[in-house]
């Protein structure tokens, strides 16, 4: 099964990789509400600091980091034990959330994981939990 986040850029990336993918809403990028489309310079330093240090912060009216973690964790748990191999073309934040879920790590660790674009992260479900096999492995030509 090959999936992509519903945003156009992930569909385009999947096509560029030669993948015939289906949109999966659970893979959508973090909803930054009123901050969407703005640069960090457009956001007051206090609000930005709150967002970067408090995973439950959502003064922008969108999702908090804890909301993202819950969404991605719930989606992963629906796949657990299915035996399906899944390729998911998605956003770095969604990958961070999947890694935190697989490691049962705290939400405060979200910004400590660096996931560059166009990298591969591999998770494996081994009952009763997800395991992290590789993170941010660069695609080879």
Please give the tally of structural domains in the chain.
Answer: 1
The answer to whether position 55 is within a domain reads no
- Residue at 60 is within a domain: no
Q: Which residue range forms the structural domain that includes residue 96? A: 2-32+68-138
Return the SS3 of 85: coil
Closest CA relative to residue 69, chosen from 28, 98, 49: 98
Helix (H, G, I), strand (E, B) or coil at 47: helix
Answer whether residue 50 is part of any domain.
no
Q: What pairs with residue 22 in β-bridges?
A: 3
Q: Is position 20 within any domain?
A: yes
| pLDDT tens-digit map of 30-89 | 999 999 999 999 999 999 999 999 999 998 999 999 999 999 999 999 999 888 899 999
Write the CB contacts of 8 (distance below 8 Å, at least 6 apart in sequence). none
3-39 pLDDT, tens digit each = 999 999 999 999 999 999 999 999 999 999 999 999 9
Q: What's the CATH code of the domain at 90?
A: 3.40.50.1240
pTM (predicted TM-score): 0.94
User: What is the dihedral angle through the alpha carbons of 42, 117, 50, 99, rounded to the nearest 10 degrees?
Assistant: 170
């Amino acid at each position: 099964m090959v999936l992509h986040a519903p945003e156009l850029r992930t569909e385009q990336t999947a096509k560029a990789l030669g993948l015939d993918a289906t949109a999966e809403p659970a893979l959508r990028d973090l909803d930054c509400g009123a901050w969407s489309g703005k640069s960090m310079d457009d956001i007051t330093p206090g609000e930005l600091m709150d967002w970067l240090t408090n995973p439950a912060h959502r003064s922008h009216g969108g999702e908090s980091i804890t909301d993202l973690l819950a969404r991605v964790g719930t989606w992963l748990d629906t796949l657990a034990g299915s035996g399906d191999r899944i390729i998911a073309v998605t956003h770095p934040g969604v990958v961070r959330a999947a890694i935190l879920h697989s490691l049962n790590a705290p939400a405060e660790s979200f910004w400590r994981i660096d996931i560059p674009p166009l990298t591969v992260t591999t998770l494996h479900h081994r009952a009763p939990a997800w395991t992290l096999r590789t993170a941010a492995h660069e695609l080879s030509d």
